[in-house]
Amino acid sequence: MDRLDRDIIGALIEDARATYAEIGQRVGLSASAVKRRVDRLRETGAITGFTARVQPAALGWTTEAYVELFCAGKTSPAEIGVAIARHPEVVSACTITGEADALLHIRATDVRHVERVIERLAAEPFVVRTKSSVVLSRLIDAPPALARNESASSA
Amino acid sequence: MDRLDRDIIGALIEDARATYAEIGQRVGLSASAVKRRVDRLRETGAITGFTARVQPAALGWTTEAYVELFCAGKTSPAEIGVAIARHPEVVSACTITGEADALLHIRATDVRHVERVIERLAAEPFVVRTKSSVVLSRLIDAPPALARNESASSA
DNA sequence: CGTGAAACCGAAGTCCT
DNA sequence: AGGACTTCGGTTTCACG
């Protein structure tokens, strides 16, 4: 995992369908060398796959919200994970420090749909209370680059 | 945008490097037909691109946090967006309803790094206060499927 | 708008430096 | 480990139903 690997990953994040020759030109390597490194990055798990970047609005998912979950005393993260995985609207979720136990990111078709999802979540037996915020406008979407900085020591 | 398009998008979300023939076999179309639809989906903006799925931890980004921003009275979303775009650790951001004005998702190398980012964010002139939660464990990562349900009326 | 065939070009494997 | 070459398969385009 050196500079070259990070440059290659950066190129693949920008365009996962770039040809090995194009990537090689960008990072200063031949196509074969790039392929070898990409194969290795996939084997080691640094790259877990390739996906299409979709505009959720184009599919009808026009509304998103963040929902904080306050859970009953002895609820394990695993228990929360299993339960919320049943709700397809939950796009991302994690346990966090602070007052709330978990933070969920949900995507829905409209505000009414958001409401229904929150109701369904609140109905989970271990959920004591929820606190939700509807997204007004998205400022930054995501992966502009994970690999551009020195990314510190590790890896 | 019909059932076929959504199935194709679903296939591409799962594996953006799948061949047109493979996708065609899955959705019941020939390779050429699939390519034509994919081209159209890209032109109309439903598909915005293809990216690699990376395990941030493999690149040294082992810590993430969510930061709520409380801004000065007359701060516009655009102003917030421009300012936070200068912080490379901000992976996602949006304005929200509720007490806070904006919610930021940041990725950092360690907790010390998180602290520095929060300090830098708090130093922005329009930021009155911040409230942050460090992620303990991730339960759901993301795009398992955006296109599997009927996705309601629109689109 | 779908299918099937032909030309092109990148991918995958091998050998050499 | 990187670079060059060859074979194979996918992509792309075209004509047709």
Using one digit for the tens of pLDDT, what is the confidence trace for A134-146? Answer: 999 999 987 655 6
Q: Which residue has the tokens 């329009």?
A: B126
Nucleotide nearest to B28 (CA to C1'): C2
Nucleotide nearest to B17 (CA to C1'): D10
Residue B69 contacts residue B104 (beta carbons within 8 Å):
yes
B147 touches chain A (CB under 8 A): yes
Residue B145: what pLDDT?
56
Question: Is the confidence at residue B150, as pLDDT, over 50?
Answer: no
Question: Is the confidence at residue A154, as pLDDT, over 80?
Answer: no
Q: Which residue of B has its CA nearest to A149?
A: B88
Nearest to A17 by CA among B44, B31, B38, B6: B38
Nucleotide nearest to B37 (CA to C1'): C1
Q: Do A96 and B134 touch (CB under 8 A)?
A: yes
Structure tokens belonging to residue B139:
């339960």
DSSP state for residue A24 in the 8-state scheme: H
Q: Which residue of A has its CA nearest to B146?
A: A56
Show Cβ contacts of residue B118 under 8 Å, excluding neighbours closer than 6 positions: B65, B67, B130, B132
Q: How far apart are CA B54 and CA B135, in angstroms?
A: 18
B122 touches chain A (CB under 8 A): no
pLDDT in tens, B112-130: 999 999 999 999 999 999 9
Q: Do A136 and B97 touch (CB under 8 A)?
A: yes
pTM: 0.89
Nearest to A145 by CA among A5, A6, A28: A6
Question: Is the confidence at residue B152, as pLDDT, over 50?
Answer: no
Q: What is the mean pLDDT of residues B143-149?
A: 55
B72 touches chain A (CB under 8 A): no
Structure tokens belonging to residue B99:
């007490």
| Closest partner CB to A140 (pick from B12, B58, B93) | B93
Residue B138: what pLDDT?
96
Tell me which of A10-24, A52-66, A93-107, A139-153 is least confident: A139-153
Q: Do A58 and B51 touch (CB under 8 A)?
A: no
Could you check: is the Cβ of residue A30 within 7 Å of any atom of nucleic acid strand D? yes
Q: Do A66 and B15 touch (CB under 8 A)?
A: no
Q: Which residue has the tokens 């997204």?
A: A135
Residue B55 contacts residue A45 (beta carbons within 8 Å):
yes
Q: How far apart are CA A108 and CA A61, in angstroms?
A: 5
Q: How far apart are CA B146 and CA A107, in angstroms?
A: 9
Query: Where residue B146 falls among pLDDT bands split at 50, 70, 90?
Result: low
Residue A67 contacts residue A131 (beta carbons within 8 Å):
yes
Q: Which residues 27-66 on chain B approach chain A with CB closer than 8 angstroms?
A: 44-56, 58-62, 64, 66
Nearest to A84 by CA among A99, A69, A72, A98: A69
